Structure 1
Amino acid sequence: MSSSIRKTPEVRPQDFAGVRDWVFDLDNTLYPRHTNLFSQIDQRMTSFVESFLQLPRDEARAVQKDFYRRHGTTLRGLMLEHSVDPDAFLEYVHDIDYSWIDPDPALGEVIAALPGRKFIFTNGDRKHAERAARQLGILDHFEDIFDLVAADLVPKPAAATYDKFLGLHRIDAAHAAMFEDLARNLEVPKSLGMRTVLIVPTNFEDTFGDVWEHEGRDGDHIDYVTDDLAAFLRSLG
């Protein structure tokens, strides 16, 4: 891990002893960023914006990233500012090749061994989450998938979306842990009393992805940082 990331203490299993619900983001969390799967989605989002708004590709790219930063997802920006059909957008951007993800039986074993329920909480849609988790070989270990549609198309980090998720599954935040690759998406969980773990790429570099995505990674709302989810979970046993 890069020295630019705040050092977190060695994991203490007792910190997670009371956890009954384990909440995982999907993209670049359950499957690692180096698979580069999300690059396919990213490029298709640019293509959708290019076609829908009739923009040159470089301008479409800039609009896409602006929506993502200001609204949490590109889709949210398109809905609020251009009344796009969300179903058409989600279907288009998730028409990708999932074979880029390598099955991860070791991750499946440690997730299965965790005490209590496990959830996927994603800003993508259920179909995308199911395909990715199935390719990883871990889909059957999860109680449910809470996707963008279940969140009424309001993405993380909106506080109302976390409240809806916790309420739907009757989760006590004081007995839950959340794993995410975006630091800003861990602020609300921490404020609610959840344990928070930030997932970073192996050999983390500031230039990996959009620089702003890494803002807040040294915040006190992050309890632990790891670049190996399976190893981290294994250390809790």
Structure 2
Amino acid sequence: MTMPADTQAAPPPLTADAFAHVDHWIFDLDNTLYSHEARVWPQVDARITLFLAEMFGLDGLSSRALQKYYYQRYGTTLKGLMEEYGIDPADFLDFAHRIDLTLLDPNPALGDAIAALPGRKLILTNGSRGHAENVAGKLGILQHFEDIFDIVEAGFTPKPERSTYEHFLLKHAVDPGRAAMFEDIEKNLLVPSALGMQTVLIVPSTPDPFREAWEQAAIEGRHVHHVTADLAGFLAPLGRPDERPA
């Protein structure tokens, strides 16, 4: 069941043992580790539209429609352009992630919460390593992550493809039964849940005008174990076992 973004679903209650076994913490990047108010993803989205416009000589509306087509068919615009035109992915990623991070403020509360989590912390993103490093660096949290698994490491096969998660788990020797996955798109939690991870859906605290409604809805389903609009607040008690909610 989906709910509008401005109607917050009550998350499943946290229990003392819900994360007691977790020592591998896996985070998506865009719209998960930062709020949409920072206007990071809209810039990337607009740059992708511009890339298509320049590549094909299209107007803005036609370029946007083509972008949506590739996203729906291939999972990412990049994958579609590689499959159909054999473009250089490095050029695309460099162009798409050439953005302004002025509105992205450091988040010391989130940094403290991530640092306190027991075990390993990793980023799993459909973006590039450079983009992840820039964003996490500006947030002041990059140093808390052991590594970043980006779209290049995934062989340009994006989430939610099962092979991408399996490749990630193998590369980093992660036991999914001891892992938690944090994501802002619910379909990207289907495979993690099936593999045995705890899953947490991050929803915006206010509606995001730059994203589709389905991308920011609170979902109730077997593959979504927890829902939160406050990642730092959600994580804080999980780093202190004696204060985990009962």
After TM superposition, the score normalised by the length of structure 2 is 0.91
Cα deviation for residue 190 of structure 1 reads 0.2
Report if aligned partners of 2:203, 2:218 keep a CA contact under 8 Å in 1: no
Structure 2 counterpart of 1:34, from 29, 33, 37: 37
Report if aligned partners of 1:101, 1:135 keep a CA contact under 8 Å in 2: yes
Range with bigger deviation, 194-203 or 27-36: 27-36
Q: Which residue of 1 aligns with 2:105?
A: 102
Confirm whether residue 127 of structure 1 aligns to residue 130 of structure 2.
yes
Confirm whether residue 73 of structure 1 aligns to residue 73 of structure 2.
no
| Matched position secondary structure for 2:102 | helix
| Matched position secondary structure for 1:225 | strand
Q: Which residue of 1 aligns with 2:167?
A: 164
Deviations 1:154-183 (A, max 9, x none): 110010000000000111000000000000
Confirm whether residue 173 of structure 1 aligns to residue 176 of structure 2.
yes
Deviations 1:107-161 (A, max 9, x none): 0001000000000100000000000000000000001000000001111001000
C-alpha distance in 2, partners of 1:216/1:104?
24
* Paired amino acid for 2:74: H
| Aligned-residue RMSD, C-alpha | 1.8
* Paired amino acid for 2:232: A
* Paired amino acid for 2:215: E
Deviations 1:81-104 (A, max 9, x none): 222211110000111112221000
Report if aligned partners of 1:5, 1:217 keep a CA contact under 8 Å in 2: no
Q: Which residue of 2 aligns with 1:183?
A: 186
Runs of 4 or more off by more than 4 Å in structure 1?
A: 1-6
Q: Which residue of 1 aligns with 2:231?
A: 229
Percent identical = 50
Report if aligned partners of 1:157, 1:185 keep a CA contact under 8 Å in 2: yes
Cα deviation for residue 77 of structure 1 reads 1.2
C-alpha distance in 2, partners of 1:204/1:58?
23
Confirm whether residue 57 of structure 1 aligns to residue 60 of structure 2.
yes
Confirm whether residue 201 of structure 1 aligns to residue 194 of structure 2.
no
C-alpha distance in 2, partners of 1:195/1:86?
32
C-alpha distance in 2, partners of 1:35/1:53?
30
- Mark the CA change 1:134 to 1:49 in structure 2 (over 3 Å): closer, same or farther: same
C-alpha distance in 1, partners of 2:12/2:82?
41
C-alpha distance in 2, partners of 1:142/1:14?
24
Report if aligned partners of 1:20, 1:176 keep a CA contact under 8 Å in 2: yes
Structure 1 counterpart of 2:140, from 137, 140, 143: 137
Range with bigger deviation, 5-14 or 89-98: 5-14
C-alpha distance in 2, partners of 1:21/1:183?
20
Deviations 1:177-197 (A, max 9, x none): 000000010000000000000
C-alpha distance in 2, partners of 1:109/1:130?
18
Q: Which residue of 2 aligns with 1:82?
A: 85
C-alpha distance in 2, partners of 1:174/1:204?
33
* Paired amino acid for 1:151: A
Report if aligned partners of 1:123, 1:156 keep a CA contact under 8 Å in 2: yes
C-alpha distance in 2, partners of 1:86/1:94?
12
After TM superposition, the score normalised by the length of structure 1 is 0.94
- Mark the CA change 1:13 to 1:35 in structure 2 (over 3 Å): closer, same or farther: farther
Q: Which residue of 1 aligns with 2:212?
A: 210
C-alpha distance in 2, partners of 1:208/1:45?
14
Query: How many residue pairs get matched?
Result: 236
